[in-house]
Chains A and B, each alone.
Chain A
Amino acid sequence: EIVLTQSPATVSLSPGDRVTLSCGASQSITSNFLAWYQQKPGLGPRLLIYDASTRATGTPDRFSGWGTGTDFTLTIDGVEPEDFAVYYCQQYGSSPPITFGPGTKVEIK
């Protein structure tokens, strides 16, 4: 089973800031099958990025994903008020099982 780690655990930002969230894998992820999700309180997660760098339908272009092998990033270029949430990475290259990272909370400074 591939174990994912995320850093930082929490980041405090002001609207307009640029931030890069990291996701590391315990072994190389097949075909860079890595996704990023956004979750707000009381709601199910929302798919933002899949296959490491492909934006899902409706994902604003201020979100970008990058990475290969064991190291992946999600960048938000110009944080908007609606972006304050928890972000999870997920690997599906060696599935089942699908595994998720522990999450990064993006909070308002």
Chain B
Amino acid sequence: EVQLLESGGGLVKPGGSLRLSCAASGFIFSRYSMNWVRQVPGKGLEWVSSITSSGTDTYYADSVKGRFTISRDNAQNSLFLQVSNLRAEDTAIFYCARALRGAKGSPIDFWGQGTLVTVSS
């Protein structure tokens, strides 16, 4: 059974940083591109970032470019998102999500339960 378990969220002050993690199990992690998608509670979904299966290529939404960094450790079946210079508008649930096929031109076939990041002074 595919499982994606996010962690690392919490309350952080504006300008602060966090490192979000996603532990993957139930599939061969190194074969899949992965994504981070966020959702303001009660609102819609916003794609944040993608990374190819090898980690060679990464992609970011304009709203987070230069502040967030996606990475992965295939040996540890883990996905990461370093979020820095946080703003109030970054407050959201962050989901780890698996791409069905590649980092481009792919739907997302499995999602975690999310980790909440709250940016507030």
Q: Mask for A94-106, Cβ within 8 A of B = 1, else 0?
A: 0111111111000
Among the stretches B12-20, B24-32, B79-87, B104-112, the one at the interface with A is: B104-112
**Residues of A in contact with B, size category:** 20 to 34
CB distance from A56 to the nearest CB of B (A): 7
Question: A44–B44 contact, CB under 8 A?
Answer: no
Q: Is the CB of A96 within 8 A of B114?
A: no
Q: Which residues from A are CB-within-8-Å of B54?
A: none
Per CB-CB distance, the 4 closest pairs between chain A and chain B, nearest first, are A44-B111, A35-B107, A50-B107, A98-B47
CB proximity of B39 to chain A, nearest CB, Å:
9
Considering only CB atoms, which chain A residue lies closest to B49 in the complex?
Answer: A96
How many contacts between A and B, using CB within 8 angstroms?
A: 72
- With contacts A45-B45, A50-B100, A90-B107 taken as known, whether A98 is within 8 angstroms of B35 at the C-beta atoms is yes
13 contacts between A and B (CB under 8 A): A30-B105, A33-B105, A42-B113, A44-B95, A44-B112, A46-B111, A50-B100, A88-B45, A90-B108, A92-B106, A96-B61, A96-B103, A98-B35
Which residues of A are at the interface with B, using a C-beta cutoff of 8 A? 30-31, 33, 35, 37, 42-47, 50-51, 56, 88, 90, 92-93, 95-103
Cβ of B71 < 8 Å from any Cβ of A? no
Report A-chain residues with C-beta under 8 Å of the C-beta of B111: 44-46
Task: Check if B47 sits within 8 Å of A102, measured CB to CB.
Answer: no
Please, how many angstroms separate the alpha-carbon atoms of A43 and B106 in the complex? Answer: 21
